[in-house]
Chains A and B, each alone.
Chain A
Amino acid sequence: MLRYALQRFLTAIPTLLLVATLAFVLLHAAPGGPFDDDRNMLPSIRHSIEAQYHLDEPLWRQYLRFLSDLAHGDLGPSFQYRGVSVNEMLAQGLPVDLTVGLSALALALVIGGTLGVTAALRHRTLQDRALVALALTGISTPVFVIAPLLVLVFSVQLHWLPAGDWVAGSPGHLLLPALSLALPYIAYLTRIMRASTLEVLGSAFIRTAHAKGLGGTAVLWRHVLRATLTPLVSFLGPAIAGLITGSIVVESVFGLPGIGRYFLIGALNRDYTLVIGVTIVYGAAIILCNLLADLCYAWIDPRVRLR
């Protein structure tokens, strides 16, 4: 398995390089540059500023420079914010995304898991139907509707929670963003857990477990839940990547200093280095999460062989 992991890890490098190259080419091909503004500069000043950022060089040389910097782990200076490097912006923003994303994941697992199993155990009751309906609503309501609604109720009307802002380590500031981000995933997980629990409950080995005289709780924890993990893991790999990279809307609504906002603002400002930097981080996150999910399969289900 170690060998497999290493192999996957090595193939990730050309993939990432391709992603970075695409981002580089697309950005430079887009019309409008970082220093086009509503005020025009003197030609001499413009030339000087472009020289500082090497924009006066041919594109292939800029690309080689970019690759060489990248190999040294340097993503370059931001084009929009003078004196600030992309590395330090990512270092400032990424912990925010990780905190919000992983908190949302925890919320989704606990709430979605509980609701899904509950619905399955109470199959075809009113509770089951209500939960299924709720999950459908959750899946079909986009984050940009949920988030402002939560703010309206909990911040503007009830004054219970802040309407935005980020204070590292403050659960009050984390709750609404994490919840907004988690809601669709809670809904998905409810459905997945309900379906797979139902499937497992009807299978022969559960009947055997019951026949051996095991109690309901023991069957649930020792046999049912373990068997539901495989579909869960295949969902979680992309979901974790999605939670970390998909917070652009949540960041905008709550004014969080995460890298999703950098991505959006950077693209509009033609902040080449910043957008490429965020793209690489996002690409790496997606590759890594998928790899972890594959490794988890093998660990949970010995029938899966990795080669």
Chain B
Amino acid sequence: MTSGLPIEVGPGLASPQLLFRSLDDEPRSLDPLLTNDLPGQRIADDLFEGLTTIDMSGKAVPGVATRWETSGDGLTWLFHLRPDARWSNGAPVTAADFVFSWRREVDPRTASASAQGLEPIAHALEIASGKAPIETLGVEAVDEHTLKVQLIEPTPYLLDLLAQQYLFPVYEPVIRQYGDAWTRPEHLIGNGAFVLHERIINDRIVLDKSPTYWGAAGVRLQRVTYYVLPDQGEQAQRFLSGAIDWADSFGTNQRIWLRQKLGDQVVNAPYFAAYFLGFGFNLPPFRGNLPLRRALVMALDREPMVRSMKQGMYEPAYTLMPPLPGYRLPRPAWADLPDERRHALARELYHQAGYSDSHPLRVRLEVPSKGPDSRHFFEAIVATWHSVLGADVQLYESEFKVLSQERVLHKLPLFVDSWIGDYPDPKTFMQLRVTGDGNNNDDYSNPAYDRLIEAADREGDQERRYALFEQAEQILDDDAAYIPLYYYATRHLIKPYLRGWQSNVMDRNPSRYMYLLEHREP
């Protein structure tokens, strides 16, 4: 096959600079305040910019704000906005724009699924719950270029949070004039490195370089075309045929042959996302049955299962939170036991829980229907429970929407769950098991755990804070609060002549850093 031959890459810049990328799905909205899906975040990163933004490695760096200072208690922040920040119609980006946007985000009438993300900002949750007027939000324009933000707790990850799309500014006049239709190409006004040129739903989104962006001099791409390709097989196909330079993902079962064919163009890197199974803590048979939960956790052979079935792409997990640079993941003691010993302990617990060969555990494992690839993995889990414990667990596949609904209604005793971190901080994962949290699908509750998370919220010192999260993670393991399976990895296909990107755990890769070298494809 011709595309298997090496691509000749020269030292000079290609001309013209036109990038073709893919998206896994159509963004639900191009309004950064309304979008909470990954394709939407990709587009928002190109069209808008927050107080902070991310560098190539995903780290928060100055964006519209050039500098900031914080009060001694860490609750009041002053942000100084760059005077040369412009909307794509040439109007200056001001502190008032941020006030308007953040109020709009938490306004229940906006109905944004991301409103909770503003939780650290004073009164955000009360406003979103309809219990306080939107004017009470802890954000204030001191003058045109100074923004004051009031927090309810020191938020060590605030700078990362500010680079999230739901805290980006939006342009008030255009929203007042066009309502929901303001995101159409003919109306949309942004403050990012690119402007919207064309959008065909479920087909493509075309962006052009913005001449008014303050950093326009450093942006080399003239045009970025995103193709919406929900079929991962099709993404690989388009990449192989040379139609796209960056494929956002490929099927897990394609990795080995793609690697043989494309070598380093297949890029896998750790991703801040985890896959696990949840228990219904208020439902039989798991309610109050710690030995049974522990038996199911310990019986699984994660290493061989994840490594072989996911083609070496994902890492077996022993914690709720995936690896994060600087954070030491606690490793439970049982993880390093020899297999036979671990299986024997699991069996012991299983019997202790009141189950045996003549009275096996019978329960349904609810999984999303995503095709044979994902089914085989669950079959392996169920088979392991059967061979190690003698448990009779039935696989039950439902559509994603059905599974999501039943999860929220807390109707499922044993189900698949997953989480992608919002910002690079343990909090985004650890809040999932806090009593009463909207995403605590397990109904798990342990006051000791809640206290640790609360203490971490108040702790300003990163090392001590991380230590609190590590202790909390230990409690989850002691309680067998969930069944860890694996940590995700990003999986992209990237042409060797495309430069200006770095793998990062948040998997955010803004187009404004990217450029194309001269190249010749055979």
**Interface of A toward B, CB cutoff 8 Å:** 31-45, 47-49, 52, 77, 80-84, 89, 92-93, 148, 151, 155-157, 159, 162-166, 252-253, 255-257, 261-262, 265, 268-270
CB-CB under 8 A from A49, the residues of chain B are: 111, 113
Q: How far is the CA of A166 from the CA of B128 in the complex (A)?
A: 42
Our pick among A32, A44, A151, A270 for the contact of B130 (Cβ within 8 Å) is: A44
Nearest CB on A from B2, distance (A)? 6
Contact B438 A44 (CB under 8 A): no
Contact A162 B28 (CB under 8 A): no
Q: Does B311 contact A (CB under 8 A)?
A: no
CB-CB under 8 A from B26, the residues of chain A are: 80-81, 265
Extra inter-chain contacts (11) besides given A49-B111, A151-B241, A262-B201, CB under 8 Å:
A31-B402, A31-B405, A41-B116, A43-B129, A45-B112, A83-B29, A83-B183, A163-B240, A255-B231, A257-B201, A257-B202
Q: How far is the CA of A255 from the CA of B230 in the complex (A)?
A: 9
Contact B128 A42 (CB under 8 A): yes
Contact B401 A45 (CB under 8 A): no
CB-CB under 8 A from A92, the residues of chain B are: 200-201
Q: How far is the CA of A26 from the CA of B118 in the complex (A)?
A: 38
Q: How far is the CA of A80 from the CA of B40 in the complex (A)?
A: 13
Contact A82 B129 (CB under 8 A): no
> Interface 1/0s, chain B 487-510, versus A by CB < 8 A?
000000000000000000000000
Q: Report the nearest B residue to A254, measured CB to CB.
A: B234
Contact A265 B237 (CB under 8 A): no
Q: Does B296 contact A (CB under 8 A)?
A: no
Q: Does B282 contact A (CB under 8 A)?
A: no
Contact A257 B200 (CB under 8 A): yes
Contact A268 B399 (CB under 8 A): yes
Q: How far is the CA of A152 from the CA of B61 in the complex (A)?
A: 44
Most buried by B among A35, A77, A92, A163: A163
Interface residues of B in 1-15 (CB under 8 A from A): 1-3
CB-CB under 8 A from A262, the residues of chain B are: 201-202
Q: A255-B234, A268-B400, A268-B401 are in contact. Are A81 and B111 (CB under 8 A)?
A: no
Q: How far is the CA of A39 from the CA of B440 in the complex (A)?
A: 10
Q: Does B425 contact A (CB under 8 A)?
A: no
Contact A39 B439 (CB under 8 A): yes
Q: A81-B28, A82-B29, A165-B243 are in contact. Are A32 and B404 (CB under 8 A)?
A: yes
Q: How far is the CA of A210 from the CA of B240 in the complex (A)?
A: 58
Q: Does B108 contact A (CB under 8 A)?
A: yes
Contact B401 A32 (CB under 8 A): yes
Contact A156 B201 (CB under 8 A): no
29 contacts between A and B (CB under 8 A): A31-B406, A32-B401, A32-B403, A32-B405, A33-B401, A36-B404, A36-B405, A39-B36, A39-B439, A41-B115, A42-B128, A42-B438, A45-B113, A49-B111, A52-B111, A80-B28, A81-B28, A81-B29, A89-B201, A92-B201, A151-B241, A157-B1, A165-B243, A166-B203, A253-B231, A255-B229, A257-B203, A262-B201, A262-B202
Contact A163 B241 (CB under 8 A): yes
Contact B128 A151 (CB under 8 A): no
Contact A45 B28 (CB under 8 A): no
Contact A82 B28 (CB under 8 A): yes
Contact A156 B1 (CB under 8 A): yes
For the complex of A and B, list the 4 residue pairs with the smallest distance between their C-beta atoms, beginning with the closest. Answer: A32-B401, A257-B203, A83-B180, A49-B111
Q: Report the nearest B residue to A262, measured CB to CB.
A: B202
CB-CB under 8 A from A156, the residues of chain B are: 1, 3, 237, 240-241
Q: A83-B183, A156-B241, A157-B1 are in contact. Are A38 and B418 (CB under 8 A)?
A: yes
Q: How far is the CA of A160 from the CA of B200 in the complex (A)?
A: 26
Contact A45 B3 (CB under 8 A): no
CB-CB under 8 A from A37, the residues of chain B are: 36, 113, 404
CB-CB under 8 A from B36, the residues of chain A are: 37, 39
Nearest CB on B from A150, distance (A)? 11
Q: Does B46 contact A (CB under 8 A)?
A: no
Q: Report the nearest A residue to B200, measured CB to CB.
A: A257
CB-CB under 8 A from A253, the residues of chain B are: 231, 234
Interface residues of B in 171-195 (CB under 8 A from A): 179-184
Q: Does B341 contact A (CB under 8 A)?
A: no
CB-CB under 8 A from A47, the residues of chain B are: 108
Nearest CB on A from B443, distance (A)? 13
Q: Report the nearest A residue to B402, measured CB to CB.
A: A32
CB-CB under 8 A from A163, the residues of chain B are: 237-238, 240-241, 243
Q: Does B324 contact A (CB under 8 A)?
A: no
Q: How far is the CA of A148 from the CA of B238 in the complex (A)?
A: 12
Q: How far is the CA of A42 from the CA of B29 in the complex (A)?
A: 19
Q: Report the nearest A residue to B234, measured CB to CB.
A: A255
Contact B111 A48 (CB under 8 A): yes
Contact A45 B203 (CB under 8 A): no
Q: Does B344 contact A (CB under 8 A)?
A: no
Q: How far is the CA of A41 from the CA of B404 in the complex (A)?
A: 12
Nearest CB on B from A248, distance (A)? 12
Our pick among B28, B183, B237, B405 for the contact of A151 (Cβ within 8 Å) is: B237
Q: How far is the CA of A81 from the CA of B130 in the complex (A)?
A: 25
Interface residues of B in 207-237 (CB under 8 A from A): 227-231, 234, 237
CB-CB under 8 A from B401, the residues of chain A are: 31-34, 36, 268-270
CB-CB under 8 A from B230, the residues of chain A are: 265
Nearest CB on B from A26, distance (A)? 14
CB-CB under 8 A from B203, the residues of chain A are: 166, 255-257
Q: Does B31 contact A (CB under 8 A)?
A: yes
Nearest CB on A from B214, distance (A)? 28
Q: Does B109 contact A (CB under 8 A)?
A: yes
Q: Does B242 contact A (CB under 8 A)?
A: yes
CB-CB under 8 A from B227, the residues of chain A are: 165, 255
CB-CB under 8 A from A33, the residues of chain B are: 401, 405
Q: How far is the CA of A256 from the CA of B243 in the complex (A)?
A: 14
Interface residues of B in 118-132 (CB under 8 A from A): 125, 128-130
